[in-house]
Chain A
Amino acid sequence: AQSVAQPEDQVNVAEGNPLTVKCTYSVSGNPYLFWYVQYPNRGLQFLLKYITGDNLVKGSYGFEAEFNKSQTSFHLKKPSALVSDSALYFCAVTEYDKIIFGKGTRLHILP
């Protein structure tokens, strides 16, 4: 069965520093991988996805993620964090017709 893990409940980063939010997955076939962001009192918003092709995927708000098949990871990254990036981030994986979400990582960007 497919699964996804976000090993950090919370990540703190100083504004202007690079940020990484970790995600690992487990599927039996080829994964489709997603990142979503949830700002306070808002629904989830799609950030980016990996379907096939280039392992480095670029998305909204300057975020990118790298698909690493050997490490079964899909970490979310941004070169320079903004205070407005503070939110709850969810990694998700689909294999067939079900999408499984991680438990989320709360990102705090410190001014």
Chain B
Amino acid sequence: GAGVSQSPSNKVTEKGKDVELRCDPISGHTALYWYRQSLGQGLEFLIYFQGNSAPDKSGLPSDRFSAERTGGSVSTLTIQRTQQEDSAVYLCASSSDSSSYNEQFFGPGTRLTVL
């Protein structure tokens, strides 16, 4: 079956522009996560969705970042007024549910470069 897909694979934008990153989770997975991976750093948790529950937004670094998940499937991460420090690889992952013992399945990531 298909894994987690993300688009675009690469995005170059100018400082101050808005960007949208898309994630298609594995079909049937109710939990969806967004992470940010900067060079030399580990994975920074951003936000997660579990079914129809309110998302956990505790990892979003500023109010320029937002995410939504439509119909319990596809998710979009939006970064408004991008800054150079937003440059990173943004990873999406899904799991069958948000139980702590379930492994996550990751997409290939979107590499964002803010000039």
**Tally of chain B residues near chain A (CB < 8 A):** 20
**A17 located at the interface, meaning its Cβ lies under 8 Å from any Cβ of chain B in the complex:** no
**In the complex, what's the smallest C-beta–C-beta distance from B61 to chain A, in angstroms?**
16
Given the interface contacts A44-B91, A90-B43, does A99 sit within 8 Å of B104 by beta carbon?
Answer: yes
User: Is A104 touching B42 in the complex (CB atoms < 8 A)?
Assistant: yes
B103 with A46: CB separation less than 8 A: yes
Cβ of B41 < 8 Å from any Cβ of A? yes
Contact A34 B103 (CB under 8 A): yes
* Given A94-B100, A96-B100, CB of A101 within 8 Å of CB of B109: no
Q: How far is the CA of A14 from the CA of B76 in the complex (A)?
A: 43
Contacts A43-B4, A44-B91, A104-B42 given: A99-B100 contact, CB under 8 Å?
yes
How far is A99 from B108 in the complex, measured between Cα atoms in Å? 19
Q: Of residues 23 to 55 in B, which have CB atoms within 8 Å of A's CB atoms? A: 35, 40-43, 45
Smallest beta-carbon distance A63→chain B, Å: 14
Contact of A43 among B41, B101, B103, B107 (CB under 8 A): B107
| Set B45, B91, B109: member contacting A99, Cβ < 8 A | B45
Across the interface, do B106 and A44 meet the contact criterion of CB distance under 8 Å?
A: yes
Q: Determine if B106 and A103 form an interchain contact, defined as CB atoms under 8 angstroms apart.
A: no
Interface, chain A (partner B; CB < 8 A): 32, 34, 36, 41-46, 49, 51, 90, 94-104
| B interface list, Cβ under 8 A from A | 4, 35, 40-43, 45, 56, 91, 93, 98, 100-101, 103-109
- Which 9 pairs between the two chains have the least Cβ-Cβ distance? A43-B106, A103-B42, A94-B100, A46-B103, A101-B43, A44-B106, A43-B108, A101-B42, A51-B101
